[in-house]
Amino acid sequence: MTEVPLKHDLGGSPRFRCTPVEPDDDAPPNDFDKRVDAVRSVLRDKKLFTVDEMRLNIERLHETEYFGLTYYEKWLRSVVAVMVAKGVVTWEDLA
């Protein structure tokens, strides 16, 4: 069986559309990664956050941020953006 490389789409930009994704590393998730995933899971279970919202906000990241953040840092940025946009938290709450 041939393995198909993962793809990503950075904000719909043709420059990045369907380019192969290089794995960050093979290390298991660290404590930060696990916490971000747990928060995302709880918000999803409470119907406060969807995968579509997460992807949209990740794709909206500026190119330098997109390539400068880790996988779970991108998730966290997206979760925060959605929660602020929905009024669940404010920027002041997060400061």
pLDDT at 38: 96
**DSSP of 25-70, one letter per residue?**
-SPPP-HHHHHHHHHHHHHHHTTS--HHHHHHHHHTS-HHHHHHS-
The whole-model pTM stands at 0.73
pLDDT exceeds 80 at position 84: yes
Which residues in 66-95 are b (16+ Cβ under 10 Å) and which e?
Answer: beeeeebebbbbbbbbbbeeeeeeeeeeee
What superfamily does domain 35-95 belong to in CATH?
Answer: Nitrile hydratase, beta subunit (1.10.472.20)
Distance CA 91, CA 83 (A): 10
For the chain, which residues make up each domain, given as ranges?
A: 35-95
SS3 19: strand
pLDDT exceeds 90 at position 5: no
Closest CA to 80 of 46, 42, 40: 40
